[in-house]
Structure 1
């Protein structure tokens, strides 16, 4: 059976399934660790909470744009599809080259290793078990997704509930420790000076922690009533994430204080330890392990759909473009992505890959949102099932924010940014070599 005659995806995901994908794709390990970095670059609890709220609103602007794009093109592949239609095959290939072949498996490898770290800490295993457990987790997730998107969604829904339970536990502990001392939570921190411009720098880790909302668009071909479900799920999912992030940071401030949060290497564990001792730290380690495991499931499922779409287009091996007739899952794409992520886990090389693809990831967001202007112009006389409000203000706001993040990242890490651009440009000769090879094979 060829890619052209392979079965299509079935629309099996409802609103809760889709919203759980948004929540699980955004909430990984970041909120349990990056709050300390944000605290280091702010001067008060009020400023810190404002940053998390502002970051959420900026991300919401991008989410609403993705909602319109997904409603216009409810197909598997997400940004790859938008770039292919608006700008042509080369930009779409460069996205797939950078994201599906490097960033997605690199993210899976990194977060699977984080899962294994916390899992070993929770049950007392030595660190030599980290890599085997991370590889085993990836293998298990790929195996579940072999049975189709609904099987993966059931697992994802479970782990989304578990991670929300862990967040609720942190919030309750923070409120108990606060004991009504709201003024102390929001008070200025006089223990360290914050240099000028640090506030803007603090927005970077906030935005990075809000990343991952695009995975639902990768799975849009399997969402029921996508024109209605996608906008609703994206809005509900990101709204829930913003509330969780603000409440968790309030809990950190209530339990640790601004200075204590800035000095903490593991704020979630330190917060739980204050009330429950080492048993509390071990309990939250289980919650973080569940959170990271759920993220891996979504990244593998979303990345495999991009790979499958590339294979069906002839931009990758045709076998990867096939969809299994019984499960309606891209089994070969899942196997390829999972195997490559396991190689990265065992080699330990995923950290540098992620550093090198950060700029590429944010560029894909900028160009992905930019396709909305093309769709609005190209199909201006056709009704759209959903339209982003305040157009063109919100798309411009998000694109400008993303470009600002890229500039700030380049200034902060010029070497990594340069390597990121080099990896993207390396895809140009690969694209033309691939096309030439295809013509010879034909």
Structure 2
């Protein structure tokens, strides 16, 4: 067992943990994805049903992660589950793909989105986007160096602000509806979509629901984890589903299905329709808050995975250290933040994210699959057990594999490169093991 299980302090309560779930899921997607989904559906009713179905499918994964977290309430999340169930190589491949590529790539991408909206709201030119994004990453790392309580304090504030932005959208949508909501929900005769195509329309929905796993990365710092983790995951995901369905209701009410399908920035269009340019500026600040909060979660969670790898001898030993006073993985935080800043300044994060999307969802499927291993090898009951086992975990795994298959069909190049990146981790793993033995 890694050293972090006895080194981290359990300081996060249910409220903090639920805010982490909400903050890890809600980023910039809900402010953009609905327009994409409207293009792929023929009515507002179809659109809302897809958001509800996507939320319920994701909930199956969330409940499965709740049992995994209750069984192994340690920092590192999926890395721990894969290491125990399938061995060090699969765990290393997860860390190789996620902690070294996907997490910092996500941080770089979302920090750039934050800076874009922040600069737009303040009237700054585009030349400030990269410096602002890099400064935001450095600021988040600096806050988290003081420990999980400092990071949670920042997270709670920005999660409340992002929920306030969504609540504002809902109010504006209802005001603009003026009794014409039925037109938004009606079928658009000019936009007939085959039923089979609706399965493909679920892809962006599921991607927008992603990010619920970050709490498991931080499980070593959750108080009474067997009780708090399942409760926080359930409450957090319920909050996300409610926010997403209401936000889409607002878009349909204010813009109509056809207007939403034609929009490139539905949140800004909705606000501008009622408040003019000031409304667009206000929602830009709301989106900036939402994306900033996501970066905080991704950095904190990714650093714990890196630290666990370092403690296991699967990465530099210095990265595995936990600072004694703050109980924070300071070297891991600095390493992840520095790499994210490099990706931000280079602008190379977009391609990296495209290449690792399949790997991210494959990691989710493999992580849930470890639940079957735990149930078989450990007879004692878990403090929390996923309901309707084995059907809910199986549903999630099959859904994720379907998402991966559909992604491979639509983007074979990105899916192929994702598998190549994962495969490159195999010689890296054996090379690292050889270096470790040589230096011993």
Report the TM-score range of the alignment, normalised by the length of the smaller protein: over 0.9
Superposition deviation, residue 7 in structure 1: 6.6
Question: Partner of 1:213: helix, strand, or coil?
Answer: coil
1:6 Cα offset (Å): 10
Q: What is the correspondence of 1:59-78 to structure 2 with a 5 Å cutoff? A: 59-78=58-77
Alpha-carbon distance in 2 for matches of 1:312, 1:34? 39
CA distance in 1, matches of 2:425, 2:230: 33
| SS at 1:28 equivalent | coil
Determine if contact 1:162/1:287 at 8 Å carries over to the other structure.
yes
Deviations 1:134-187 (A, max 9, x none): 000000000000000000000000000000000000000001111233311211
Instruction: Compute the displacement of 1:189 (Å).
Output: 1.3
8 Å CA contact 1:112–1:137 kept in 2: the answer is: yes
SS at match of 2:282: helix
* Cα RMSD, aligned residues only: 1.1
Q: Displacement of 1:195 after TM fit?
A: 4.6
Residue 324 of structure 1 aligns with which residue? 323
**Which stretch shifts more, 181-190 or 67-76?**
181-190
- The residue number in structure 1 matching 2:276 is 277
Q: Give 1:89's aligned residue.
A: 88
1:202 aligns with 2:201: yes
* Secondary structure of 1:62's aligned partner: helix
1:182 and 2:181 aligned: yes
Q: Distance in 1 between matches of 2:422 and 2:77?
A: 19
1:79 and 1:16 map into 2 onto residues whose CA distance is 23
Asked if the contact 1:6/1:323 (under 8 Å) is kept, the reply is no
1:242 partnered with 2:241 = yes
Give the SS at the match of 1:285.
helix
Q: Residue in 2 aligned with 1:29?
A: 28
Partner of 2:389: 391
SS in 1 for 2:276: helix
2:99 is equivalent to residue 100 of structure 1: yes
Q: Distance in 1 between matches of 2:6 and 2:364?
A: 30
Q: TM-score, normalised by structure 2?
A: 0.99
Tell whether 2:419 aligns with 1:421: yes
> How far apart in 2 are the matches of 1:402 and 1:196?
20
Distance, in Å, in 1 between the alignment partners of 2:201 and 2:5 is 47
Counterpart of 1:355 in structure 2 is 354
Residues of 2 paired with 1:128 and 1:241: CA distance? 34
* Cα offset, 1:396, TM superposition: 0.5
Normalised TM-score (structure 1): 0.98
CA distance in 1, matches of 2:159, 2:192: 38
**Residue of structure 1 in register with 2:263 after alignment:** 264
Shift of 1:33: 0.3
Q: Partners of 1:69 and 1:239 in 2: how far apart?
A: 19
Cα shift readout 1:253-284 (whole Å, capped 9, x = no counterpart) = 01110011011000000000110001000000
In structure 2, distance between residues paired with 1:7 and 1:124: 48
In the comparison of the two structures, how many residue pairs are matched?
439
**Would you say 1:191 and 2:190 are equivalent positions?**
yes
